[in-house]
């Protein structure tokens, strides 16, 4: 048996567990796309920190996106490879194919607007979050124009880690 002092020094970090589980959703979705491709209208918007350790992108892309970048996996992507810690993909930028390597820990947002699904990962940069909200809104607007009336009524459910964070306890 452990003593009471042992119990107070080791608590479960639920926030980290939830974030890890949500990143596994991204990883699983990408593994499906790697194996079977993207079906029907499915497409992924993935935002990530460009300066994060392990991110490998061309310097010209880093100059344009010094902090965060959003990529789209839809019709034109090649060589998608998903591992436990990261994924790599080749995309076309202004007609030039570029390879990207992105650790899952660098991902800040993942959205599949075709089904109204989105995940937002914790970030200390509120400006980045508001900018992405604008991107998601414009994605949804475009999706509404490109799909039938049934799909236009659905909006993305973005799951934020803030909803899982420990709330201050009530002193009563």
> For the stretch 116-154, what's the b/e string if a residue is b when 16 or more beta carbons lie within 10 angstroms of its beta carbon?
bbbbbbbbeeeebbeebeeebeebbeebbeeeeeeeeeb
Predicted TM-score (pTM) of the model is 0.68
Q: Count CB atoms within 10 A of the CB of residue 171.
A: 4
Query: Does domain 14-164 sit in CATH 2.30.30.220?
Result: yes
pLDDT digits (tens, 9 = 90+) for 78-93: 999 999 999 999 999 9
pLDDT digits (tens, 9 = 90+) for 48-76: 999 999 999 999 999 999 999 999 999 88
Residue 29 makes CB contacts below 8 A (sequence gap 6+) with: 44, 110, 112
């Amino acid at each position: 048996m452990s003593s009471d002092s042992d119990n107070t020094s080791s608590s479960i970090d639920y926030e980290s567990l939830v974030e890890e589980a949500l990143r596994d959703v991204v990883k699983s979705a990408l593994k499906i796309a790697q194996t079977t491709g993207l079906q029907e209208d499915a497409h992924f918007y993935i935002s990530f920190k460009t300066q994060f350790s392990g991110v490998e992108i061309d310097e010209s892309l880093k100059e344009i996106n010094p902090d965060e970048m959003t990529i789209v996996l839809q019709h034109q992507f090649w060589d998608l490879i998903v591992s436990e810690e990261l994924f790599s993909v080749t995309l076309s930028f202004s007609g030039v194919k570029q390879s990207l390597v992105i650790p899952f820990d660098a991902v800040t947002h993942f959205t599949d607007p075709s089904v109204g699904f989105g995940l937002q990962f914790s970030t200390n940069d509120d400006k980045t979050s508001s900018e992405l909200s604008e991107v998601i809104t414009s994605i949804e607007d475009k999706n509404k124009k490109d799909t039938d009336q049934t799909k236009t009524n659905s909006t993305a459910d973005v799951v934020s880690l803030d909803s899982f964070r420990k709330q201050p306890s009530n002193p009563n």
